[in-house]
Each structure stands twice: as C-alpha cells, then as structure tokens.
C-alpha cells in the first residue's frame, strides 16, 4: 500500500525524514436528556497540528472504496456534514438523519487480510465513517449491514515504519442508540447497546467496560482520576456525562456536553520531558442529533461555529460545499452561508 500521507483518526504514526512520532488519544461521549435530546461530543487529540475543514456532501454521490479494482462502490443515500483531516479522510461527521460517526485510534486493531485479486471487495479505512454516514439512518441499520461483512476495511503499514493505521469506529443516532466497531485479531467485534455512552481510544472496548464497572463502585464526588491517560479520561467522561443537567434546553445541554469534552481534553501545548509528543486536543465537535446542528470548535480560535443541517440543501443535484478552516480562518455562530462550492476531496487509499 503506497500512502503519501498517513490516514488519520485519533492517533497515528507519522514518519518524518529522521524521526517517528507516536500519538494516541481522543474521547467520545453521548448525552441522553429528556424529550429525545441526544447529543454526541468528541475531542480530536494529536501531537501535531491536524488541520480540519468542514464539508457538506449531498445525496447521490458516487463513491469508491479507493483500494483498486476490488473497491466497493456505492451511491450516498443521505447528505452529511463532516470534519476532514488533511482532506484525505472523514474521521467525524453527522448525516441528515442524525447518525453520528467518530473514528478513534485503537492500537490493538488488526484487520482482515485484503487481497486485491481476491473475491471480497475493500474499503479504505479513511472512508469507513463516511460509508456509514452515506448509507444508514440508524445505528441498528448500520450494525445489521456491517455484520454481513460484505467488504474488508483496508489499512496497511505507514511508509517507512512497522506501524499500521489502526482505528475503531463509534456510531450513535438520534434515538440514543450506540455501537462500537472494532477489528480484533482480524475479526469484526461489534458492541451494540444504547448504554455505551463513552468511548476512548484505548484499550479495546470490552476492557473499557471493565474499567467503567470498577469505577462505578467509587463515587465521583469522592475521587476521579485526573490524568490525560485514556482510562482516566474514560472514567471522568462516564461520570460527568450523567451528572450534568438533564434538560431539553439546547443552550444548556449543548454547553454541558462541551464542558464534559473540555474536561477530558489535553491542554494545548502540553509537553513533558520524557513525553515530548503528548497528544494535545486540536478540535472538538458536539453534534445535536435531535435538532441536527453540528458544532465545531478549533482550540486555536476563540469561537464556536455551527452548521444547522435543516438549512442545507442535500438533494442529489446540490453541489459539494466546503468551509475552509485549515488556514486559521475564524467563524462564529451559524456558518452554513460561508460554505463554498468545491470539488470533493479524494479519500486516501491504495
């Protein structure tokens, strides 16, 4: 697999001319309030700048798995807003039905073998989340389809290293349902339960649930672990997401979810003597799945912007539109009017 840039999720191995950087982080939470209020928030943590742009993709887009002749092909059924990474991957997004997809790093991931001359089709890992957003309205629909394993998720060594790009995928929908998809020892493992409100990058999700079970015996009002390690972030997020105000007021619920993911963020610029490449939080997303509003916050700008999907034309004849943020552009408030027509980016693949 020839990759000119590394496929990105929440963690990655980057090779420079004479050094390697290992990073891994990120947290995802799902808030479930009264009157069908469902909100998913996540942090994107990385050791170097990970420029993001926002994209609006309409229905009817012809897509390819980007792995050669055996690529899976599909036509998008639903429009979506996504945050790209380097305009080669969609690590985060929400579609017009309120399905949210988030990719986070998972070191233990091992994917099935993909044979370019074999019988099974393939999908680049860079488009794994986008495939879900394009095709499914609910978590249950997505889980049923992924369980059929009609294609192989394709990744490979980062050039010049012995490290794979390895991520797991979280899905949540407007009903509050949730699923975590992981490839462990080459087998797809799906954890499907509306109780799965919190996920971090590591360890495998089964072990995250064990951590949760242990810490549920220790009241958060007495003690919460405070480091930036994945297990500690999982504990804090699990406690706070269910102790913040339970309300259908979007001003309070959205602000409360932002407060939780800020609590589990890694301070910008943090660097320790023995850990010079600690992942810092680069941007955050909060997706209101009831009201279909996608909030985005870059830590280097003082403002939060958002996109009201109800204002977007997602019809098959609508153009792809882009909001450039990777040059330090600053927007605040509802920003759909500032998107510009654009050619879609190409997912990094084989």
Residues labelled as active-site residues: 26
The answer to whether the beta carbons of residues 306 and 325 sit under 8 Å apart is no
Name the phi and psi angles at 166, rounded to 5.
-135, 120
The sign of the CA dihedral 257, 284, 332, 299 is: positive
Going by C-alpha positions, the residue among 190, 106, 108 that lies closest to residue 146 is 190
The answer to whether the beta carbons of residues 95 and 80 sit under 8 Å apart is yes
Rg (CA), the chain: 19
Secondary structure (DSSP) of 292-321: TEEEEEETTSS-EEEEEGGGS--STTSPPE
For the chain, give the number of residues: 350
Q: Record the tokens describing residue 179, joined without a space.
A: 């699923």
Distance CA 319, CA 210 (A): 46
3-state SS, 229-281, equals: CHHHHHHHHHHHCCCCCCCCCHHHHHHHHHHHHHHCCCCCCCCECCECCCCEE
**Given phi > 0 = left and psi -120 to 50 = alpha, else beta, which region is 171?**
beta
Q: Record the tokens describing residue 210, joined without a space.
A: 């064990």
To which residue do tokens 């015996």 refer?
Answer: 217
To which residue do tokens 């020839």 refer?
Answer: 2
To which residue do tokens 């309205």 refer?
Answer: 137
Q: Give the residue ranges of DSSP H helices in the chain.
A: 128-135, 139-147, 205-215, 230-240, 250-263
């Amino acid at each position: 697999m020839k990759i000119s840039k590394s496929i990105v999720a929440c963690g990655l191995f980057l090779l420079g001319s004479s050094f390697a950087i290992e990073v891994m982080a990120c947290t995802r939470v799902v808030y479930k309030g009264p009157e069908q209020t469902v909100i998913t928030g996540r942090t994107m943590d990385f050791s170097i700048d990970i420029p993001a742009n926002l994209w609006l993709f309409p229905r009817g887009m012809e897509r390819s798995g980007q792995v050669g002749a055996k690529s899976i092909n599909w036509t998008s059924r639903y429009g979506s807003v996504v945050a790209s990474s380097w305009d080669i991957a969609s690590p985060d997004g929400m579609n017009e039905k309120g399905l949210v997809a988030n990719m986070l790093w998972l070191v233990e991931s091992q994917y099935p073998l993909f044979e370019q001359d074999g019988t099974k089709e393939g999908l680049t890992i860079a488009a794994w989340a986008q495939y879900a957003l394009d095709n499914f309205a609910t978590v249950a629909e997505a889980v049923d389809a992924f369980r059929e394993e009609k294609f192989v998720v394709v990744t490979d060594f980062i050039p010049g290293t012995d490290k794979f790009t390895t991520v797991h995928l979280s899905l949540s929908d407007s009903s509050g349902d949730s699923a975590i998809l992981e490839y462990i020892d080459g087998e797809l493992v799906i954890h499907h339960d509306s109780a799965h409100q919190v996920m971090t990058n590591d360890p495998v999700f089964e072990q995250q649930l064990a951590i949760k079970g242990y810490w549920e015996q220790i009241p958060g009002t007495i003690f919460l672990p405070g480091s930036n390690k994945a297990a500690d972030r999982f504990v804090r997020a699990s406690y706070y997401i269910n102790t913040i105000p339970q309300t259908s007021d979007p001003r309070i619920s959205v602000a409360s979810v932002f407060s939780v993911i800020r609590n589990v963020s890694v301070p910008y610029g943090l660097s320790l003597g023995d850990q010079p490449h600690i992942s810092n939080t680069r941007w955050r997303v909060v997706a209101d799945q009831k009201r279909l509003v996608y909030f985005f916050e870059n830590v280097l700008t003082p403002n939060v912007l958002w996109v009201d999907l109800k204002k977007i034309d997602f019809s098959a004849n609508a153009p792809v539109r882009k909001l450039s943020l990777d040059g330090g552009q600053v927007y605040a408030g509802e920003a759909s009017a500032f998107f510009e027509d654009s050619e879609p980016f190409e997912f990094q693949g084989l």
